[in-house]
A and B are shown apart, each in its own frame.
Chain A
Amino acid sequence: MLHIKNLSKDLGEFVLRDVSLDIERGEYIVIIGPTGAGKTILLETIAGIYPPDSGTIILDGRDITGLPPRERNICVVYQDYMLFPHLSVEENIGFGLVSRKMPKDEIKKRVADAAALLSIDHLLHRSPETLSGGEQQRTSIARAIVMDPVLLLLDEPLSALDGQTREMLRKELRRLHSLYKITVVHVTHNFEEVFSLADRVAVMNDGDVVQCGHPDEVFRKPNCEFIANFTGVENIFSGTCIQQDGASAITVDGLTIISGTCKGDGEVCASVRPEDILISRESIKSSARNSFKGTITDIENNGVVIKVTADAGIPLVSVLTRQGYDEMQLREGDEVYLTFKASAVHIF
Chain B
Amino acid sequence: MTSRIKPDLCLISFALVGSTLVILILLALLNITATQLSDIPFLLQVAQDSRVTDSILLTFTAGLNAVIILVLLGTPLAYVLARTHSRFNNIIESIIDIPLVLPHTVAGIMIYLLFMQRGLIGAPLKDVGFIFEDAYPGIVAAMLFVALPFYVDTAREGFEKVPLHLENVARTLGATRFRAFSLVVFPLSIRHILNGCILAWGRAISEFAAVIMIAYYPMVISTLIYYRFTTGGIKESTAIAFLMILASFSVFVLLRLVTRYVGRYDDRV
Report A's interface with B, CB cutoff 8 A.
Answer: 12, 44, 47-49, 68-70, 72, 74-76, 78, 80, 82, 84-86, 95-96, 99-100, 129, 140, 143-144, 147
Please determine whether A70 and B175 come into contact, CB atoms closer than 8 angstroms: yes
Residue from B85, B168, B187 whose CB has the most chain A CB atoms within 10 Å:
B168
Choose one: B165, B174, B187; the contact of A70 (CB below 8 Å): B174
B: number of interface residues (CB 8 Å): 22
Q: How far is the CB of A149 from chain B (nearest CB, A)?
A: 8
For the complex, what is the distance from the CA of A25 to the CA of B13, rounded to whole Å? Answer: 69
Interface residues of B in 165-183 (CB under 8 A from A): 165-166, 168-177, 179, 183
Please determine whether A82 and B163 come into contact, CB atoms closer than 8 angstroms: yes
15 further contact pairs, Cβ within 8 A, besides A49-B168, A70-B175, A72-B172: A47-B168, A48-B172, A68-B177, A70-B171, A78-B169, A82-B165, A84-B166, A85-B188, A85-B268, A95-B170, A96-B173, A96-B174, A99-B175, A144-B173, A147-B174
Given the interface pairs A86-B265, A99-B179, the reply to whether A70 lies near B172 with Cβ below 8 Å is: yes
For the complex, what is the distance from the CA of A48 to the CA of B177, rounded to whole Å? Answer: 12
Name the CB-closest residue of B to A99.
Answer: B174
For the complex, what is the distance from the CA of A96 to the CA of B171, rounded to whole Å? Answer: 9
Name the CB-closest residue of B to A147.
Answer: B173
Q: How far is the CB of A261 from chain B (nearest CB, A)?
A: 37
Name the CB-closest residue of A to B85.
Answer: A12
B184 at the interface (CB under 8 A from A): yes
Choose one: A47, A76, A84; the contact of B184 (CB below 8 Å): A84
For the complex, what is the distance from the CA of A25 to the CA of B175, rounded to whole Å? Answer: 25
A sample of 17 cross-chain residue pairs with beta-carbon separation below 8 angstroms, ordered by A number, consists of A12-B85, A48-B171, A49-B168, A69-B172, A75-B172, A75-B173, A82-B169, A84-B170, A85-B265, A85-B268, A85-B269, A86-B187, A96-B173, A96-B174, A140-B169, A143-B173, A144-B173
Choose one: A68, A78, A140; the contact of B176 (CB below 8 Å): A68
By a CB distance below 8 angstroms, the chain B residues around A47 are 168, 172
Name the CB-closest residue of A to B176.
Answer: A70
Report B's interface with A, CB cutoff 8 A.
Answer: 85, 163, 165-166, 168-177, 179, 183-184, 187-188, 265, 268-269
For the complex, what is the distance from the CA of A140 to the CA of B173, rounded to whole Å? Answer: 11
Name the CB-closest residue of A to B187.
Answer: A86
Choose one: A44, A72, A85, A140; the contact of B168 (CB below 8 Å): A44
Residue from B163, B165, B177, B184 whose CB has the most chain A CB atoms within 10 Å:
B165
Name the CB-closest residue of B to A11.
Answer: B85
Please determine whether B265 and A99 come into contact, CB atoms closer than 8 angstroms: no
Q: How far is the CB of A42 from chain B (nearest CB, A)?
A: 14
Please determine whether A99 and B173 come into contact, CB atoms closer than 8 angstroms: yes
By a CB distance below 8 angstroms, the chain B residues around A48 are 171-172
Q: How far is the CB of B89 from chain A (nearest CB, A)?
A: 14
By a CB distance below 8 angstroms, the chain A residues around B168 are 44, 47, 49, 69, 76, 82
For the complex, what is the distance from the CA of A178 to the CA of B265, rounded to whole Å? Answer: 37
Q: How far is the CB of A183 from chain B (nearest CB, A)?
A: 15
For the complex, what is the distance from the CA of A258 to the CA of B233, rounded to whole Å? Answer: 101
By a CB distance below 8 angstroms, the chain B residues around A129 are 268
Name the CB-closest residue of A to B170.
Answer: A95
By a CB distance below 8 angstroms, the chain A residues around B170 are 84, 95
Name the CB-closest residue of B to A70.
Answer: B174
For the complex, what is the distance from the CA of A96 to the CA of B269, rounded to whole Å? Answer: 20
Please determine whether A76 and B172 come into contact, CB atoms closer than 8 angstroms: yes
Q: How far is the CB of B259 from chain A (nearest CB, A)?
A: 15
Name the CB-closest residue of B to A79.
Answer: B165
By a CB distance below 8 angstroms, the chain A residues around B187 are 86
For the complex, what is the distance from the CA of A180 to the CA of B175, rounded to whole Å? Answer: 25
For the complex, what is the distance from the CA of A153 to the CA of B39, rounded to whole Å? Answer: 73
Choose one: A68, A80, A143, A147; the contact of B165 (CB below 8 Å): A80
